Amino acid sequence: MSLWTAAEIAAATDGRASADFAVEGVAFDSREVGPNDLFVALTGETTDGHRFLDGAFAQGAAGALVSRAGKHPSVEVSDTFTALEDLGRAARARTSAKVIGVTGSVGKTSTKEALFAALDRSPSVSAHRSVKSYNNHTGVPLSLARMPRESDYAVLEMGMNHPGELAHLTTLVRPHVALVTAIAPAHTEFFPHEAAIADAKGEIFGGLEPGGVAIVPYDSPHRDRLIAAAEPHASRIVTFGLDRAADVHALEMARASHGGTFVTARVGAHELSLTVSQPGAHWVSNALAVLAAVDAVGGDLALAGLALAELGGLAGRGARIEIAAGDGTALLIDESYNANPASVAATLAVLGDQPGRHVAVLGEMRELGDKGADYHAGLAPAVLAARVEAAVLVGEAMSALAQALEGQVDFVHVPDAATALEQARRLIAPGDAVLVKGSNGVGLSRVVAGLVGPMPGGKS
């Protein structure tokens, strides 16, 4: 059965179909259009998706959502962004899937991926998820519109950088379970204090379906604030964390031989032992959140444990790659997608547990407002605790950390990713463990790509 027919799209969006067609997917980026997709021609201040219609159909699009008629099979609407939201609402209205909404300052994409893997582990179950980090005002309705009719579960990531954004997104997702991973300084340029971030994340609970479950991080200093936000909307509130007072908690933890963590967890009335493949205490917390959500939707906890043991690192979010280094190799930990003070500290702790010399390529953290210098300087204890012996600091905002590390760590401070790559190539030696971490806008994914590719005088 197709994902959408032209008639269904027209009915959902109050549009007019120019032809009869059926689609198997939805995309608003013409570069991502595949065979039999619906291309949504979004218009914005700097671009107009209608300019890319020919390219989208050349790549195999079966139809388009447009705001002005053209030569291609399409559904014409008055506004394509509003129509995309309407299509997302229609997808949510027709599904019988259990829907889980995930947000948080850190860990939401990793937790979303782990939760999807846990629910999709059974061959008799069909799970759907947001891809990449499609978690904003366009990504959430797109992820909904892509949801197959027959899905049993859907895991939707929701992000924000201003108050009120999640309040709207959660009305589209209408989750049966709403999960907040953690609260940390992020986008502080737009918030007066961290408690305001917690309030904005707590907006997710306002969209809970009747009988819904709120899942809250017990170890967070904002736990009670999140619980208060959930109480008017949730039939049940479940806490997770390392503290044994949490509803879902770790009874025992031990480092596994491969660098992950062996955990015995209490999940309500259940006790289970599992291995969390990804290293670090933050991943134990993510795993406990996953178990809480799986239990909340009646999923199989044993299969969830197997999925967590098999979970690989995500590109930009913990992928571990062996790279050429001189006449040998080094371990690269790719955390290049994003950064805030909490996530940088967590990943530095992972670096500190690795054998060999520790090298850190750290990009500046963005959207931290007038406290940015303090947050950057505040990374120094984590750098020292990780026993970093050589560092490349990238971006103007890293000046504060450079001053804090002066005389304690060998480092170079560079303006951009291209220079960082040059310096990293000079620094890295066989046997090193190398962390690359920074805000996405710094472009450290290019450093990762350069280090993974052929190195002068080394192996490919």
The pLDDT of residue 459: 35
The CATH number assigned to the domain holding 247 equals: 3.40.1190.10
Give dist(CA 440, CA 395) in Å, integer.
12
92 has a pLDDT exceeding 80? yes
Within a domain: residue 350?
yes
Residue 460's pLDDT is what? 33
Split at pLDDT 50, 70, 90, the class of 457 is very low
> Which residue type does 313 have?
G
332 and 438, same domain (yes or no): yes
Share of the chain above pLDDT 70, in %: 98
Lowest mean pLDDT among 190-199, 324-333, 377-386, 390-399: 190-199
Asked if 302 contacts 273 with a C-beta cutoff of 8 angstroms, the reply is no
For residues 327 and 247, membership in a common domain is answered with no
Q: Which of these three, 50, 79, 108, is where a domain ends?
A: 79
Residues 29, 11, single domain; the answer is yes
Q: Which of 57-61, 96-100, 365-369, 444-448 shows the lowest mean pLDDT across its residues?
A: 365-369
If you average pLDDT over residues 99-110, what whole number do you get? 94
Q: Is residue 90 part of a domain?
A: no
- Say if residue 69 is in the same domain as residue 151: no
* pLDDT of amino acid 443: 95
Residue 5 has pLDDT above 60, yes or no: yes
84: amino acid identity, one letter: L
What's the CATH code of the domain at 70?
3.40.1390.10
Q: Return the structure tokens found at 378.
A: 């505040």
Q: Which two tokens stand for residue 106?
A: 């850190």
Kindly state the percentage of the chain with pLDDT values over 90: 85
Question: Is the pLDDT at 248 greater than 50, yes or no?
Answer: yes
- Residue 287 and residue 261 share a domain: yes
Let me know if residue 445 belongs to a domain.
yes
Secondary structure string (H, E, C) spanning the chain: CCCEEHHHHHHHHCCEECCCCEECEEECCHHHCCCCEEEECCECCCCEHHHHHHHHHHCCCCEEEECCCCCCCEEECCCHHHHHHHHHHHHHHHCCCEEEEEECCCCHHHHHHHHHHHHCCCCCCCEEECCCCCCCCCHHHHHHHCCCCCCCEEEEECCCCCCCHHHHHHHHHCCCEEEECCCCCCCHHHCCCHHHHHHHHHHHHHHCCCCCEEEEECCCCCHHHHHHHHCCCCCEEEEEECCCCCCEEEEEEEECCCCCEEEEEEECCEEEEEEECCCCHHHHHHHHHHHHHHHHCCCCHHHHHHHHHHCCCECCEEEEEEEEECCEEEEEEEECCCCCHHHHHHHHHHHHCCCCCEEEEEECCCCCHHHHHHHHHCCHHHHHHCCEEEEEEECHHHHHHHHHHCCCCEEEEECCHHHHHHHHHHHCCCCCEEEEECCHHHCCHHHHHHHHCCCCCCCC
Q: Indicate whether 181 belongs to any domain.
A: yes
Residue 33 zone, left/alpha/beta (φ > 0; ψ -120 to 50; rest): beta
For the whole model, what pTM was predicted?
0.84
Give the end of a domain, one of 252, 275, 310.
Answer: 310
Asked whether residue 164 is marked as a ligand-binding residue, the answer is no
Residue with tokens 């690359």: 436
151 is in an annotated binding site: no
pLDDT, mean of residues 17-32: 96
pLDDT at 456 over 50: no
Average pLDDT over residues 206-234: 98
- 357 and 442 part of one domain: yes
Copy the structure tokens of residue 12.
């959902």
Q: Number of folded domains in the chain?
A: 3
Whether the pLDDT of residue 206 is over 50: the answer is yes
Q: What is the mean pLDDT of residues 7-22?
A: 98
**What is the pLDDT averaged over residues 287-309?**
97
- The rounded distance, in Å, linking the Cα atoms of 312 and 452 is 17
pLDDT band at 24 (very low <50, low <70, confident <90, very high): very high
Residue 88, domain member (yes or no):
no
Confirm or deny that 109 is annotated as ligand binding. Answer: yes
Q: Which residues of 365-379 are buried (b: 16+ CB within 10 A; e: fewer)?
A: bbbbeeebeebbbbb
pLDDT(142) > 50: yes
Residue 229 lies in a domain: yes
Tell me, yes or no, whether 383 lies in a domain. yes
Mean pLDDT, range 301-308, rounded to an integer: 96
Q: Specify whether the CB–CB gap between 271 and 92 falls below 8 A.
A: no
What is the rounded CA–CA span in Å between residue 344 and residue 113? 20
CATH number of the structural domain spanning residue 332: 3.90.190.20
Hey, which residues does 274 pair with through a beta bridge? 263
> Which pLDDT belongs to residue 453?
84
To the question of whether residue 101 is assigned a binding role by annotation, the answer is no
Structure tokens at 279: 């290293």
Q: Please check if 96 is assigned to a binding site.
A: no
The answer to whether residues 151 and 8 touch, using CB atoms and an 8 Å cutoff, is no
Domain identity same for 218 and 333: no
Which residue has 């990793």 as its token pair? 110
Domain presence at residue 252: yes
Are residues 396 and 265 both part of a single domain?
no
Q: Is 294 annotated as a binding residue?
A: no
Instruction: Say yes or no: 361 and 441 in one domain.
Output: yes
- pLDDT (average), residues 95-99: 98
What pLDDT, on a 0 to 100 scale, did the predictor assign at position 458? 38
- 455: pLDDT strictly greater than 80: no
CA distances from 187 to 104, 348, 398 (A): 12, 21, 17
Average pLDDT in the chain: 94
CA distances from 325 to 4, 8, 340, 422, 431 (A): 50, 55, 29, 13, 8
Kindly report, residue by residue over 330-371, the tens digit of the pLDDT: 999 999 988 989 899 999 999 999 999 999 999 999 988 888
The pLDDT value recorded for residue 314 is: 79
Q: Which residues pair with 63 in a beta bridge?
A: 38
Same domain, 112 and 157: yes
Least confident of 31-45, 86-100, 176-190, 401-415: 176-190
From 264, 281, 310, give the residue that closes a domain.
310
List the domain range (segments joined by +) for residue 328: 319-452
The structure tokens listed for 266 are 């209490």
98 is in an annotated binding site: no
Collect contacts of 423-427 with beta carbons under 8 A, ≥24 apart. Answer: 423/392, 424/359, 424/361, 424/392, 424/451, 425/450, 425/451, 425/455, 425/456, 427/359, 427/390, 427/392
Q: Average of pLDDT values for 58-78? A: 97
| 410 & 358 share domain | yes
Indicate whether 209 and 141 sit together in one domain.
Answer: yes
Q: What is d(CA 57, CA 28) in angstroms, rounded to the nearest whole number?
A: 13
Give the strand pairing for 22-23 and 4-5.
antiparallel
